Structure 1
């Protein structure tokens, strides 16, 4: 039986590119979406054309029960779940002193709490399989503890993601499960695109970020690592 991957937020953009890259490697895939049903179906069909099983599932993963239900639905429909890519994460650029409590919680819920809910739910399935890959999407430069007053809650969540990933990697190292972080910089799908700040002088292509996810998929001796795909940005 082939391995199964779930990529959250994979109807379009970076998530779509990662999901299709995994499908090209022969993994059965679950396309997750919240609002983009039409795009999710198109992505599902494209993955299916690569010769793998592909399903699509809707869920608001910022809600605990919905996140847990998504994991169980993938397992029920595809027979297991060995690869989880936590790609979902809202972005907001706004001065920290002007943020509302709702906006604060929205950033933490989508970028940190949702991956936590999903990962905690999938760990028992990976343990039973004796093999697993958790690949979390971060933010290039989130390891550098510097002031970012325009995107503070976003960076707090992404820095928290790194700390969570490292702790989980150490905890699960004896279970055949690796946990790593792919940290994009300014990509072609980014909301903000100050390409002049990128030393390599261009935006990251989604396929380049997806290649980093595939890299972690294929490595058995790398865990707790952060791979920045950023062209030298935020060094």
Structure 2
């Protein structure tokens, strides 16, 4: 597995108490970065992840907050900075998923999907940028969705596709806006992952993406030697073509 030297870095992965976020955070810790485990309600799980990260010989803390609330985003970053120093690696992983037809979705669910995926990415990136700019270095990786950059739409879970398209647009815009700051901004976009809520009848290569499949491109983007790669999007889809569905 790719293992860049991330010693001396501080990483915050949103939604890292469970699932994809947990695996990404632990992989980053294994590469030597101190880590902030973010959670909203899963405090026990977050504490367990932090303890596992410390076994890699790094410092780890937990930070709580709602990524759709500007004040809570500021507070969770302040907590991470107080314990570990400024955040120079940010992985925007939080994003609600609601696999129901758009007409059957109540407004709160619709809004939660849009806000957690898009607004959370915007708020956390905006909060992380000043310290990254001051340091002249930083890495942001946003979690997208396969084919979202081709305006993928479906009646089921429609706001998720809208939000992830926005995340990829935001990734490119922010990459262009930080070209002189020593910061890179990229995206990793899976299709179906091993812990996904739903699985289609047919999967590319007869399996979902494993956590390791997402870890590899993420670590590539975080590698100090990848400093000219910005505004990129790596699809982790096994070659899935939505037009075949």
Question: d(CA) in 1 for partners of 2:152 and 2:35?
Answer: 37
Question: d(CA) in 1 for partners of 2:204 and 2:56?
Answer: 36
Preserved contact between residue 10 and residue 16 of structure 1 (Cα < 8 Å): yes
- The correspondence for 1:232, drawn from 214, 219, 239, is 239
Deviation by residue 1:78-124 (Cα, 9 ceiling, x = unmatched): 11110000000000012122222212211111000011111101100
Distance 1:87 1:195, change over 3 A: farther
91-100 or 177-186, which moves further after superposition? 91-100
Question: Secondary structure in 2 aligned to 1:173?
Answer: coil
Question: d(CA) in 2 for partners of 1:99 and 1:122?
Answer: 33
Preserved contact between residue 186 and residue 221 of structure 2 (Cα < 8 Å): yes
Hey, what does 1:103 align to over in structure 2? 109
Report the TM-score, using the length of structure 2 for normalisation: 0.92
Would you say how many aligned residue pairs link Structure 1 and Structure 2?
A: 234
Structure 1 residue 180, shift from structure 2 partner: 0.4
**Alignment map for 1:32-51 (pairs within 5 Å):** 32-51=38-57
208-217 or 170-179, which moves further after superposition? 208-217
Find out whether 1:200 has 2:205 as its counterpart. Answer: yes
- The correspondence for 2:178, drawn from 172, 181, 190, is 172
Question: Secondary structure in 2 aligned to 1:125?
Answer: helix
Structure 1 residue 221, shift from structure 2 partner: 1.1
Hey, what does 2:84 align to over in structure 1? 78
Structure 1 runs, 4 residues or longer, greater than 3 Å off: none
**Structure 2, unpaired ranges of 5+:** 1-6
Q: CA RMSD in A?
A: 1.2
Hey, what does 1:24 align to over in structure 2? 30
**Alignment map for 1:1-235 (pairs within 5 Å):** 2-194=8-200, 196=202, 198-218=203-223, 219-234=226-241
Hey, what does 2:3 align to over in structure 1? none
Report the TM-score, using the length of structure 1 for normalisation: 0.96
**Structure 1, unpaired ranges of 5+:** none
Preserved contact between residue 98 and residue 113 of structure 2 (Cα < 8 Å): yes
Structure 1 residue 195, shift from structure 2 partner: 5.5
34-43 or 93-102, which moves further after superposition? 93-102
Preserved contact between residue 80 and residue 87 of structure 2 (Cα < 8 Å): yes
